[in-house]
Structure formats: C-alpha cells, structure tokens
Structure 1
Amino acid sequence: MEDNNDIEVLENKHRKEKKELQAHIQALKKVAKNDKTKKKELTAEIARLELELDNRQKKEMEAVSKENSIDNELVQLDENEDIKIKLSKAQKRRVKKEQQERERELEIKLQEKENINGPRNLENQAICNRLKEINLQVYSIPSDGDCLYKAVSHQLFVKRKQSISVEELRKQTSNYIRENKEDFMPFLNNPETCDLLTDSEFEEYCDKIINSKVWGGQIEIRALSNYLKCPISIIQATGPASIQQGEEFDGPSLVITYHRHMYRLGAHYNSTLVIEDEHVEH
C-alpha cells in the first residue's frame, strides 16, 4: 500500500507540473503574440519545454519504481537460518533518503557541468572579458521586451546625466523611423515572406514600437543613435568586439551589451558601468 501511495503522490505532482507548464506556455504566447518572428522561436521553445518535462517525469517515475523494488527486498537476519523479513518503515525511509541524496548530488554535478560549458555562460564570460579590457562591467536589465530602451535610458543617465523614459524613447524611435521611411524601408521585410514591407505593414511596424513591448534591434539602435545624436557601441561575444553606430556624433558613446543566449525567447540587451562606479544606479 505504501508503494502505491508513493506512485500516486508522484503522479499528482506530475499532473500539477503539467498544469504549471501549460500556464507558463500561455504566458509566453501572450508576450510573443504581436511578433511573428518570436512566434516561430516560441514554437520550438514550447516543444523543448514539453519534451524536457516529459523526460524528467519519466526518470522520476523510474526512480520511484526502483526505490520501491529496493524497499520490498527481503534481508537475511541470520546467515545460518533462512529467515527473511521485509524492511521496517524506518529502514525504508533511510534507504529512500540515501537514494534521493545520491540522485540530488548527481543532478547538481550534471547541472554545474552543463552551466560551465553551456552557451549562456560561455557567451557571458566572453562579453565580460571584452568589457574588462575597457574597464567596464555588465549592468543587468530586466528581460521584458523593453531591454534595449532601458539599457539606452540607463546609459543616457550614466554618461550624459539625461533622464529619458522608455516610453519617450519608444515614441521618438518610432517617429524617427516613420519620418525617414526611405532610409529604413530597404532593411525591413516580412518575417514570413521575406518580402519588403508594404506601406501598411510599415505603419504597423512603427505603431508596434510605441504600443507594445516588441523587441528592438539594429534598426531601432540606428534610429535611437540618430535621434539622440550620440554614438552607441554594442559589445558582443562573437564576431567584432563591438558594433559602432553613430560614430559621426560627438560625445561619449553609450555602451550596451548584446546577448544571444541569455534568455530562451531570444536576444537581450544589458547596460554597462565603469568597474569602480559599480554603485551608480538609475
């Protein structure tokens, strides 16, 4: 009866985890619903999350079944007598606890190894090393769709003592792209057809910059640099150490970092700080 109870508890746990995953997936869909490119990435991410959960739950069920078989083994009390009894409840709990501890230690070791050699950690180390060469460090920005604009806003405060909100930066970025349509149109295409945007699609693109949390990219960085009339430097892990935008403008460059692997849904931007000025916040 106790063995069946263990399995029943685990099954209940698995059902709860599946419900939680579905809720998480729905939340991710809401974030990406206005971005066709992110929807494609999200489909692959959902499949990975579901497969990951399924594999882990199978391993947990196999582990419990194995523990139950151990719990029910007979032990010989006397080598000279063929007298066997089942493990006591206290012994069962002890064996189970030891088994769980071994599995937990193994999981920790495997995760540590994966983290060390994982793309996110390797990318972060490469970016940090490049920043150290210019006496800078990463200043973390939340991943909520506004990361580019928040990183630029932070840099404006740190480098120029200017306080410009994310909302204002989005508005001015959209206005600048719309007002300079001929300059930007050749670089904008439909993510599904790869054709250049139509006039209506261009207007929709500009509207999304203001009215949604759609991610910003190279187009938006160019618009920000031109609107603000200041250079922007993007530090990345691979390829050129930095990508420069707006070098024709005077004044200190706004230095942000570009991360391809920091979050599962796609690219992310962080800001930077001079190492000895770690306490500065905005």
Structure 2
Amino acid sequence: MEEVETAEELLAKQHRNEKKDLQAKIQSMKNANSLKNIENELEQLQNSSLVQEVSNAVDFLSLGNSDGKNNDLSKQTRTSKAQKRRDKKAAFEKALESQIAEVEVENLTGSRHQEGLKLRQKLMERHLQIREISSDGHCMYRAVEDQLTERGATLSLKELRAQTAQYMRSHADDFLPFLTDPNSGDMYTADEFEKYCNDVADTAAWGGQLELKALSQVLQLPIEVIQAESPSIIIGEEYVNYMRHACGLGEHYNSVEPLKDLANEEEG
C-alpha cells in the first residue's frame, strides 16, 4: 500500500527542490563570471603583449640596426631642429637691429631731436651749454639746485621743495586762480590747493612756471628759462642778479653752464 505524503512532507520537499534550483542558478552565475574574468584576463594579456611588441619595436628603432641608418636619421632630425632654432634666433636679432636702426633714424629726424638742436644753437650764441639733469620728477628743482651750487649757495632739493610749497600756501591768492581741475575746469578748492602744495613739498611732482615764480620770490633771484621754440622767459625780473635755467624738450628742465672751450680760454 502506497504511503501518502503528508502536507508537511510535501512542503519540505518543495523547499529542497527550490533550494537545489537556486544553488544551480548560483553556480551557473559563478561559471559565467569566471568565463568573463577569463576573457578579461586574456584581453589584458593580449594588450600587454601588444604593448610589449610596440615597445620592442620602438627600442629597436631607437637603437638602430647594425648599419646605423636609424641613428643617422635621428641625428639628422636633431640637427634640423637645432638649425631651426639658430635660424629663428638669427631672424629675431636681424629684426631687432632693424627696429633699433629705425628708432635711431627717427630720433635724428624727430621733433624732439630738432628741438634739442635749436636749444643748443641758442645757448651757443650766448656761450652756454646744457648741463644734463635727470628726468625723475625733480628736474626743475635739481636745475635750480645746480645753479645755486655754482653761486655758492647750499639749499638742498628737499629744502627747495619745502620752501616753494610754504610760499605758495602763504600767498594762495597769487597761485590759486591758475590751478584748475583738469576734468571740470573749476578752480581748485582750498582742500585741493592744500593737497597740491603738499605734493610740491613731499612728492616728485613736476614743477612748472608757478613753482618757478614761488622759487624766485623765495630766493630773491630772477630765473631765466631758455626755450627752443619760444623766446626766453624771465621770472622775478625785479631782482638784479641772474640765475640761468634752461628749459628744453617739452616739460623737462636742464641747467646751463658756460661753454667748456670758452671757460678754458678764460682760465688760460
């Protein structure tokens, strides 16, 4: 007589079958992953072999074969690059020389050079020559300092600036009307005028006719400004003794001195 399986037995059997099927699927997945890993390893191995072959080929080309032809080719390539660098440098130097020549020609024919020639001609007629002053913002004061040194005075650049600023402050009505805002055209305010005087005293602000006017009053000496394109200007004419002060090449100021040859003749 056949035994009839109970419900519990049927359920247990079903669980065993499901577990078996699940294990089979897991094993199948593992096998698939293993195959994929093997394929990846094979591909990597092939790539590695290919890279090695390429590397070997490059090494062979670098080392060259027994007759040295590849070495010659590499040497020619290096020589060609070196020659190109030399050619480029030579071309640059040639272009630079050409530019320098153009600038020199322009300087000889330019307005600034022509102005300098005219100024020198004027000075020669008066037996004078330029004594160069550096263009550092202090040139006007340095030129006056140079002239004072020739006269035996000992006022420094700093003292000249300070006394110029102080005179302008104490005589504001003589200077303020000539100072205007470059943007609005309005006359300077009191604060702006004070800042202007501070700049005169403490910075390398360029000086002009206003400062020369103040200096002539401080020093009680007339200052003559010799210009290339215009008649000379004498500032502080009420004073007797002259202090020469040459102006040329735009806003730059130089000092003047007797011509060297003439001075030597007088000493002889």
TM-score norm. by structure 1 comes to: 0.59
Between Structure 1 and Structure 2, how many residues are aligned? 186
Counterparts of residues 12-161 of structure 1 (less than 5 Å): 89=80, 99-100=91-92, 102-158=94-150, 160-161=151-152
1:201 aligns with 2:192: yes
- The one of 241, 258, 262 aligned to 1:274: 258
In the superposition, relative to structure 1, how do residues 245 and 102 fare at CA in structure 2: closer, same or farther (>3 Å)? same
Bigger Cα Rg: 2
Residue aligning to 1:164: 155
In the superposition, relative to structure 1, how do residues 173 and 102 fare at CA in structure 2: closer, same or farther (>3 Å)? closer
CA distance in 1 between partners of 2:194 and 2:93 (Å): 58
Deviations 1:94-114 (Å, cap 9, x if unpaired)?
A: 755764565345334322221
- The one of 238, 246, 249 aligned to 2:236: 246
Percent of aligned pairs sharing the same letter: 41
Native 8 Å contact 2:116 2:248 kept in 1 = no
Residue aligning to 2:183: 192
Deviations 1:172-231 (Å, cap 9, x if unpaired)?
A: 111111111112222121222111111111111111111211111110000001111111
Native 8 Å contact 1:257 1:272 kept in 2 = no
In the superposition, relative to structure 1, how do residues 94 and 208 fare at CA in structure 2: closer, same or farther (>3 Å)? closer
Aligned residue identity for 1:182: D
Structure 1 or 2: larger helix share? 2
In the superposition, relative to structure 1, how do residues 94 and 271 fare at CA in structure 2: closer, same or farther (>3 Å)? same
Aligned residue identity for 1:221: L
Q: Return the offset for 1:124.
A: 1.4
TM-score norm. by structure 2 comes to: 0.62
- Larger deviation: 190-199 or 217-226? 190-199
Structure 1 or 2: larger strand share? 1
Residue aligning to 2:48: none
In the alignment, structure 1 segments of 5+ residues that lack a partner are 1-84, 261-266
CA distance in 1 between partners of 2:174 and 2:183 (Å): 22
Q: Return the offset for 1:156.
A: 1.0
CA distance in 2 between partners of 1:92 and 1:197 (Å): 62
Residue aligning to 2:208: 217
Structure 2 counterpart SS, 1:177: helix
Structure 2 counterpart SS, 1:268: coil
In the superposition, relative to structure 1, how do residues 104 and 199 fare at CA in structure 2: closer, same or farther (>3 Å)? closer
Q: Return the offset for 1:249.
A: 0.3
Residue aligning to 1:51: none
